[in-house]
Amino acid sequence: MSIEETIKTRRAIFPKQMSGEKVPQEIINKMLELANWAPTHRNTEPWRFKVYSGESMNRMLDFCKQCYVKDTPAEKYNSIKLEKIEQRKEQVSHIVAICMDRNEILPEFEEIAATAMAVQNMWLHLASTEKYGGYWSTPSYALGEEFSAFLHLPKEERCLGLFYIGTIAEDAVRAEGKRGDWREKVKF
């Protein structure tokens, strides 16, 4: 698949679209290697990733459920959300905590942008396989201090979300990509 095709066909693959089949370690390793080649101002390389699978992933998901129960106001609480988090144990192969090591020399948005580009590289690699996919989730509890403590993040690091990785189920319906005309967003 060409880089153009990969970019145009990359989609969020939600956990419910994943089969539970494990993604081979060599795919995960290559994905993380390519993430490391993201653009980075002043070569700060702010991205940090914590990869969970198997029992450690299940412990993380259990902690996610605890955080959801604790942090969700009664009027917004939905038990179906807890069921969905539990189902991820059977759907997802790996979860990557997307973290950023904050370097005070640069504006924060540059470090966030570099980390997001690293995640895009991960996503594009998975898309290029046509078998594996990912989904970047940003639940509010994952962005908080309690979750940072769970991840054992140093003070200068913060979590920017969770990247779910899995094998795309054979019956998964993939969304069709839609974009407006690029010329309507560009001025020469």
For 125, residues 6+ apart whose C-beta sits below 8 A from its C-beta are 27, 30, 31, 34
Look at residue 93 in the predicted model and tell me its pLDDT.
98
The string of pLDDT tens digits covering residues 164-179 is 999 999 999 988 899 9
Look at residue 104 in the predicted model and tell me its pLDDT.
87
Whether residue 56 is predicted with pLDDT greater than 90 in this model: the reply is yes
Q: Are 9 and 60 in contact (CB under 8 A)?
A: no
Within 13 A of 28's CA, how many CA atoms are on the CB side?
A: 18
Q: What percentage of the chain has pLDDT greater than the value 90?
A: 96
DSSP string, 137-168: E--GGGGSHHHHHHTT--TTEEEEEEEEEEEB
* CATH code of the domain made up of 3-173: 3.40.109.10
**Averaged pLDDT, 124-151:** 96
Mean model confidence pLDDT for the chain: 96
Whether residue 68 is predicted with pLDDT greater than 90 in this model: the reply is yes
Domain boundaries, the chain: 3-173
Look at residue 1 in the predicted model and tell me its pLDDT.
84
- Residue from 97, 69, 101, 102 nearest 83 by CA: 69
Tokens linked to 133: 């996919």
H/E element, 50 = strand 47-53
Look at residue 62 in the predicted model and tell me its pLDDT.
98
The CA distance from 28 to 33, in Å, is 9
What is the residue type of 109? F
Look at residue 112 in the predicted model and tell me its pLDDT.
97
Look at residue 166 in the predicted model and tell me its pLDDT.
98
Look at residue 57 in the predicted model and tell me its pLDDT.
98
